[in-house]
Chains A and B, each alone.
Chain A
Amino acid sequence: MTRILGISGSLRRDSHNTSLLRAAAEAAGPNGELELYDGLKEIPPFDEDDDVHPRPPSVARLNEAIKSADAVLFSTPEYNSSIPGQLKNAIDWVSRPVATNVLRNKPVAVVGASTGGFGAVWAQAELRKVLAALGARVLDIELPVPHAHTRFENGGLTDDEIRARLEETIESLADEAREREEQKAAV
C-alpha cells in the first residue's frame, strides 16, 4: 500500500484545501493511505542562520514525514496569484540541501481549491514549478476546484466529478511510487 502524505497550504480550521485532502484520503481506497500533515503552522520563517543541526523540531518533523512517505499530495489555495507564503516557506526549509533533499525523486501531485472561478490554477502551476526545481517527480496533473464553498457540506466533498479526479490522482501517485519501488528492487 502506498503511503501518501497530504499537505494543505491553507492553515485555517475549515480550509477547503484541507477538506479536499480529507476527501482524497477517503477516495484513496485500496490504492493508498493518505495521512494529513498537521504541523505546517509551526514551521518558523526560513533563515539560513537557523539551518543548522539539529534543525528546528517542526522542520525536522516535516522532513521526516516527507521522507517516510512514498508520495506527497499538496493542496494549495491561491494567494495573490501564487502559493501561500507558509507553504513556500516550509518547502524552502525541506529543499535544503538541494542535492539530497527529501523531496528529490519523490512522486508528488498538486491539487487546489479556491472560492473564485479558477480553482487556484496559478498557485498549482507555481507549486509544480517549485517542486520540479528541487528535484521532485512532479505528476503532470492539474485539479482546480473553483467555487470551493459550493462543493463541500460540513467539510465533506459533494462533487462526484472532483471525487473521481481525486481517485485518479491518488492512483497516479501510487503508480509512480510503485514504479519507483520496483526500480529500486531491480537494482
Chain B
Amino acid sequence: MNSAILTIAPAGTWNLDSIHSRVDFEVSYLAGTFKGHFNEIGAQLTVDGDRASLEGTTNVASIDVNEENLTAHLQSPDFFDVERYPELRFTAEDISLDGDGQVAVRGELTIKGITKQVTVVGTVTAPIADPYGTERIGLNLSTTIDRTNFGINWNNPLPSGEPSLANDVTVIAELQFVKSGEES
C-alpha cells in the first residue's frame, strides 16, 4: 500500500480548459432521454498539500438544447429562471480518492438560488504533459439530482396521468484542467 497521501493532482492551481470540457445533463422525457449542455463553463481546482478544492460554474444563459424556443423555455422562470439566477455553481473542499483513479467529491450545488449538499463521483487521470508544455489532468464526474429539490418543478402529464418529465436529472462533467504556470 502506498503510504503517500493521495491527492487528486499535484499541488498547484489547475484551470479549466473550457474548449475541451463539457457539462451535460440528461433526463428521462416521454419515451426517451432528453440531453442538453451548457456552452459556457468555468472551473478551478486548487491543490495545497493534502487539501484540494474544486469550484465550477455554468452560465445558465448558455444552455443549449438545439432548439431556440425550447432553450428559451428552459431559461424562463418555469425552469432555470436565468434572469434571476444566471449561474449554476458547485463548490467542494471534500475530495477523496481510492488510489485507483476513482474520485468522490462532496460539495454544495447551487441551482436556482437553492444550495444542496451533493456527492459527485467519477475518475481522475494521472497528470500528463501535453504538447503545449503544460501539465494536464482529466476529471470526469457525474451525479444525479432531484430537480424538484432545486425548485424546478415543471411537468406535463401524459394521458395516463404519469408525468412526462422525470425528476431525476443526471449531470455529467467531462473536464480537462491545465496547471497554472503561476506559483500557488
Give residues in A with beta carbon < 8 Å to B.
97-100, 104-105, 132-138, 179-180, 183
- Chain B nearest CB from A103 CB (Å) reads 10
Contact across chains for B84 and A99 when beta carbons are under 8 A apart: no
Q: Verify A105–B78 contact, CB threshold 8 A.
A: no
Count, chain B residues at interface, CB 8 A: 13
Contact A104 B78 (CB under 8 A): no
Which residues of chain B are within 8 angstroms of A133 by Cβ–Cβ distance?
73, 78
Q: How far is the CA of A127 from the CA of B84 in the complex (A)?
A: 23
- Asked whether A138 and B77 contact (CB < 8 A) given A180-B83, A183-B83, A183-B84, the answer is yes
Which chain A residues lie closer than 8 Å to B75 at the CB level? Answer: 135
CB of B72 within 8 A of CB of A135, answer yes
Starting from the known contacts A98-B69, A137-B83, A138-B78, 17 additional A-B residue pairs (CB-CB under 8 Å) come to: A97-B68, A97-B69, A98-B68, A98-B72, A98-B73, A100-B72, A104-B72, A104-B76, A132-B76, A132-B78, A132-B154, A134-B76, A135-B72, A135-B73, A136-B76, A179-B84, A183-B84
Q: Is the CB of A135 within 8 A of B76?
A: yes
- Which has the most chain A C-beta neighbours within 10 Å: B71, B77, B154? B77
Question: Which A residues lie within 8 Å of B73 (CB)?
Answer: 98, 133, 135
Contact at B68–A132, with CB atoms within 8 Å? no
Closest Cβ of chain A: how far from B33's Cβ, in Å?
A: 22
Residue of A nearest to B70 (CB): A98
Please measure, in the bound complex, the distance between the C-alpha atom of A105 and the C-alpha atom of B79, giving whole angstroms. Answer: 12
User: How many whole Å from B55's CB to the nearest CB in chain A?
Assistant: 22
Assuming A105-B83, A180-B83, A183-B83, is B71 touching A132 (CB within 8 A)?
A: no
Residue among A133, A136, A180 facing the most chain B CB atoms (10 A cut-off)? A133
Is the pair A135, B71 in contact by a Cβ cutoff of 8 Å? no
Distance (whole angstroms) from the CB of A84 to the closest CB of chain B: 22
Which B residues, 17 to 75, have Cβ-Cβ distances below 8 Å to chain A? 68-69, 71-73, 75
Inter-chain contact A135/B77, CB cutoff 8 Å: yes
Q: How far is the CA of A137 from the CA of B154 in the complex (A)?
A: 13
